[in-house]
Amino acid sequence: MAANYNNSAWFYDALSRVVYGRSLVRAQVWLLEYVPENANILIVGGGTGWILEELTRVHPSGLTITYVEVAANMVALSKKRITGNNHVSFITNAIENVVLPMDFDVVITPFLFDNFTEQTLQRVFCHIHKALKPGGIWLNCDFQLTGRWWQNVLLKTMFVFFRVICKIEASQLPDINTRFEEKNYKMVDEKTFFGKFVLSRVYKK
């Protein structure tokens, strides 16, 4: 069953700030510096859409953004965001069901893949991969385990919570890095946040 973040839309950002402070925001804002001017961008799983306002701070105009988010309540909040003179198209659907043009300069997947089982990740990854131009930039951030006990505790707690509230399918982190390696992406830059629990990476196709 597909994840359904509708139930969590009204409290998602507040909960994230209580647990992680601004770390999850910083992890994504750091990535946005890699977005070139006038880029054609695909954002998948942007949640309440605050990333659109951060992107607009970096580029107040010239961007063409396709914003794909499966939860209608998240999209409703995202549509209220300030996006300057950028052009945003909102699509309320699971990314795997959306027919995408194959001409994106940049794709952004912020804390999307942790929702998925290994099998779903492979399918969704390939689908997004095809939509990115050769030489395009893929900005990804997600949780990772680096051997500290508290990371496991936090991760397990999140999986239990979001399985009950949002019916996510995953119960452990899928192997995200390997997906990029097997498609021969070049890792251009990386940075960790929140005691290395969060990894932001810039990849080039």
Ligand X SMILES: C[S@@+](CC[C@H](N)C(=O)[O-])C[C@H]1O[C@@H](n2cnc3c(N)ncnc32)[C@H](O)[C@@H]1O
* Residue (of 181, 169, 80) closest to 117 by Cα position: 169
Work out the end-to-end distance of the chain between its first and last CA atoms, rounded to an integer number of angstroms: 31
Least Å distance, CB 90 to ligand X, is 12
| CB neighbours of residue 63 within 10 Å | 25
Q: Which of 34, 45, 121, 128 binds ligand X (CB under 6 A)?
A: 45
**What burial class does residue 109 get, using C-beta atoms within 10 Å of its C-beta: 0-12 exposed, 13-18 middle, 19+ buried?**
buried
Give the helix ranges, DSSP H, for the chain. 12-20, 23-32, 50-58, 72-78, 118-131, 149-166, 176-182
Among 29-37, 63-71, 79-87, 191-199, the segment contacting ligand X (CB under 6 A): 63-71
Q: How many residues bind ligand X (CB under 6 A)?
A: 19
For residues 7 to 36, the per-residue mask of contacts with ligand X, x marking binding by CB under 6 A and - elsewhere, is -----------------x------------
With b for 16 or more beta-carbon neighbours within 10 A and e for fewer, the 136-151 pattern comes to bbbbbbbbbeeeeeeb
Candidate list 70, 100, 121, 131; residue touching ligand X; CB under 6 A: 70
Calculate ∠ Cα 123-154-181, nearest 5°. Answer: 35
Residues 116-175 that bind ligand X (CB under 6 A): none
Asked if 176 is part of the footprint of ligand X (rule: CB under 6 A), the reply reads: no
Q: Is 112 in the site for ligand X (CB under 6 A)?
A: yes
- Give yes or no for residue 110 binding ligand X (CB under 6 A): yes
Q: Which is nearer to ligand X, 98 or 133 (CB)?
A: 98
Q: If binding is defined by CB under 6 A, does position 95 make contact with ligand X?
A: yes
- Residue ranges binding ligand X (CB under 6 A): 3, 5, 24, 44-47, 68-71, 74, 94-96, 110-112, 115
